[in-house]
């Protein structure tokens, strides 16, 4: 379960990690951080896990990508919660057991 949470929640800013010549993920020594406006954007972050979405992109798009910097999946907004789960936090907040 912890591995699943890490896979879903482990993120890094775009540009913070790169693939080196040995195909290892390493911290980018030239990365200086994100500006406040960039840090507030979801698209400024990548999942720190083996990519699962890149293989779904058209081959022409993948060929145009930089292999050393565009090798992780972009963070996207999560799908909406089912109605029952959306109501659950209200119950916990309003119910005193």
b/e map 56-81, b = 16+ CB within 10 Å: eeeeeeeeeeeeeebbbbbbeeeeee
Provide the residue-wise pLDDT of the chain in tens; the chain has 97 residues: 788 877 778 899 999 999 888 888 899 999 999 999 999 999 899 988 888 876 776 666 666 566 667 778 888 877 666 665 555 555 444 555 4
User: How many structural domains is the chain composed of?
Assistant: 1
For 56, the domain range is: 2-94
């Amino acid at each position: 379960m912890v591995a699943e949470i890490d896979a879903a929640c482990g993120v890094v800013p775009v540009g913070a990690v790169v693939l080196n010549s040995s195909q290892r993920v390493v911290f980018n020594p030239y990365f200086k951080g994100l500006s406040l406006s960039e840090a507030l954007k979801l698209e400024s972050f990548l999942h720190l896990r083996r990519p699962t979405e890149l293989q779904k992109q058209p081959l022409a798009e993948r060929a145009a990508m930089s292999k050393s910097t565009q090798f992780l999946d972009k963070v996207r907004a999560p799908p909406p919660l089912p109605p029952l789960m959306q109501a659950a936090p209200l119950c916990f907040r309003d119910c005193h057991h």
